[in-house]
Amino acid sequence: MSDAPRTTMETGVAATDLAAATSRTVQAGTPILRAESVSKWFPVDEGLFRRAHKQVRAVDGVSLDVFPGETVGLVGESGCGKSTFGRTILRLVDPTYGRLFFEGEEITQLGQRELRPLRRKMQIVFQDPYSSLNPRMTVKQIVGEALQIHGLAKNARDEEAQVAELLRRCGMRAEAMTRYPHEFSGGQRQRIGIARALAVDPRFIVCDEPISALDVSIQAQIVNLLQELQEERKLAYLFISHDLKVVEYLSHRVAVMYLGRIVETASAKSLFERRHHPYTRALMSAVPVPDPKKRTLRVLLEGDVPSPIDPPSACTFHPRCPRFEKGTCDVETPELRELTPGSGHQVACHFPEDA
C-alpha cells in the first residue's frame, strides 16, 4: 500500500489539446474538474479467514481535466474502472491517492458537510433508469427533492413550477409529476433522471452509460437532449460509455481506459483518426458499423480483460497486445506521453502505431 501512483501529471496539456478540437468550440481557462493522479483501490477479502488483503486497483493514477462546456468521453470495457473514476471525482467514493479540484479549489479532503454546496454544481446521471429512481416516490418528489435539500424553491407552488419546467425541458409533460417511475418507459425514465440532475442547475454532470439501456431510436433522442442542455447551460460532461460511436459523436476529447489506467487521450478527432495505442485500435475496429460496404479488416484481440486483482506486469495490455515486445512491455510501465509535442494527443505505449 506504500507505493504511490506513478503516473506523471500533465498540467497544461489539456488546454493545448482544445485547439486541436477544431470541429466544435469549447471554453478554455480553469478546468471545472481536475483529477491529478487519482487512484481508487479496493481491498479484496480472500480465503477462508478473509485475511489476504489484496488490493484491486480499480483506478490507478488517472489524471484528467474537464473544462466548462466541454464533453470528455471516457471509454473502455467492463471492469476498466471508468465508472469508479466517475464516482471518485464526484467524491461519491473517496480516492485512495491523488488530488481532486473543482473550479480550481481542492476538494480531496473536504468533509460531507463542506461538500454539500458543491453537490449542487456536480451531478450524475446513471445507466439504469429502472434502479436509479425511487419506485415509491412520484416524479414530482424525485425531481423536487434536490430543490428542497438545497433550498432552491421559495414555496410549494414555486417548487411545482420549477419541476414542471424541468420536465418540459427534458421532453416530458407536466402531468408526469403525479405518476410513479414504473409508469414510464426506459427513455422517459432517463429523461426524469436528467431532469433530477438539472434541478440544482449544475455546472458538471457525470453521465455514466446514460443511453446503454435504451432502445436505438430512443438513444438518439437522449443524446440530442444532452447536447441541447450543454449548449444552453454551458454544462460540462464526463461521458462514460462503452459505445464508441456515441462517444465519438458527442465528445470534444476522449480518454481510453484499460485496467484502471488511461492508455490514450486526445481530441475526439485526433483520437479517432490516429488511434496510436494498439488497444484503441482493437477497440475501434471491433465496433460493428451499420454499413455493409464498410466491413473492414478487424484486429481481433485474444483473451479477456485480465482481472484487476492480479493485473499483468508493466503495461497491463501486454498479454493481449499484437505489438508486444518481450523485455520491454512486460518490464517497463509506459507513461502517457505526447508523440507530437503540443498536439495534446497522449499515448501510454512503448511501440505506438503510426508514430
Partner 1 sequence: MRCCSPADEPRPEPPVARVPVAPAPAEGTPLLSVRGLVTSFRTEGGVLRAVDDVSFDVPPRSTVGLVGESGCGKSVTSLSIMRLVPDPPGRIEAGKILFQGTDLLALPEREMRKLRGDRLSMIFQEPMTSLNPVYTVGAQIAEAVRLHQKKSRADARARAVEMLRVVGIPSPETRVDAYPHQLSGGMRQRVMIAMALACEPKLLIADEPTTALDVTIQAQVLELLRKLQKLLGMSVVLITHDLGVVAEFADRVVVMYAGRVVEEGAVDEVFQRPRHPYTRGLLRSIPPFGEVAANRPRRLPTIEGMVPDLRALPVGCRFQDRCPDVIDVCRKIEPELAPIDGEPSGRRSRCHRASELA
DSSP string of 139-176, one letter each residue: HHHHHHHHHHHTT--SSHHHHHHHHHHHHHHTT--GGG
Residue 322, interface with partner 1 (CB under 8 A)?
Answer: yes
Footprint of partner 1 on residues 53-82 (CB under 8 A)?
77-78
CB proximity list for 40: less than 8 A, separation 6 or greater: 58, 59, 81, 84, 85, 88, 93, 94, 95, 96
Nearest approach, Cβ of residue 224 and partner 1 (Å): 5
How far apart, in whole angstroms, are the C-alpha atoms of residue 200 and residue 259? 34
Residue 326, interface with partner 1 (CB under 8 A)?
Answer: yes
Residue 332, interface with partner 1 (CB under 8 A)?
Answer: no
Q: Which stretch binds partner 1 (CB under 8 A): 107-115, 159-167, 244-252, 346-354?
A: 244-252
Residue 2, interface with partner 1 (CB under 8 A)?
Answer: no
Nearest approach, Cβ of residue 319 and partner 1 (Å): 4
What cell numbers appear for 37 in the block? Answer: 493522479
Q: What is the DSSP letter of 96?
A: S
Residue 324, interface with partner 1 (CB under 8 A)?
Answer: yes
How far apart, in whole angstroms, are the C-alpha atoms of residue 146 and residue 200? 6
- Write the binding mask 105 to 144 for partner 1: x where contact by CB under 8 A, - elsewhere: ----------------------------------------
Residue 300, interface with partner 1 (CB under 8 A)?
Answer: yes
Nearest approach, Cβ of residue 8 and partner 1 (Å): 25
Q: Which of 13, 167, 301, 349 binds partner 1 (CB under 8 A)?
A: 301
Terminal alpha carbon distance of the chain: 36
Contact 86, 100 (CB under 8 A): no
Nearest approach, Cβ of residue 40 and partner 1 (Å): 21
Amino acid at 179: R
Footprint of partner 1 on residues 15-44 (CB under 8 A)?
22-23
Residue 305, interface with partner 1 (CB under 8 A)?
Answer: yes
Footprint of partner 1 on residues 246-275 (CB under 8 A)?
246, 248-250, 269, 272
Residue 310, interface with partner 1 (CB under 8 A)?
Answer: yes
Q: Which of 286, 332, 340, 342 binds partner 1 (CB under 8 A)?
A: 286
Q: Which of 111, 304, 341, 354 binds partner 1 (CB under 8 A)?
A: 304
Element (H, E) at 236: strand 236-241
Contact 88, 290 (CB under 8 A): no
Residue 149, interface with partner 1 (CB under 8 A)?
Answer: no
Residue 341, interface with partner 1 (CB under 8 A)?
Answer: no
How far apart, in whole angstroms, are the C-alpha atoms of residue 126 and residue 147? 19
**Of 174 and 223, which has the nearer Cβ to partner 1?**
223
CB proximity list for 51: less than 8 A, separation 6 or greater: none
Residue 215, interface with partner 1 (CB under 8 A)?
Answer: yes
* Cβ neighbours of 46 (radius 10 Å): 12
CA torsion sign, 320 to 322 to 323 to 325? positive
Residue 157, interface with partner 1 (CB under 8 A)?
Answer: no
Contact 38, 89 (CB under 8 A): yes
How far apart, in whole angstroms, are the C-alpha atoms of residue 317 and residue 334? 11
How far apart, in whole angstroms, are the C-alpha atoms of residue 18 and residue 28? 7
Residue 219, interface with partner 1 (CB under 8 A)?
Answer: yes
Compute how many residues bind partner 1; rule: CB under 8 A: 63
Interface with partner 1 by CB under 8 A: which residues? Answer: 22-23, 77-78, 185-188, 215-221, 223-224, 227, 242, 244-246, 248-250, 269, 272, 282-307, 310, 312-313, 318-320, 322, 324, 326, 330
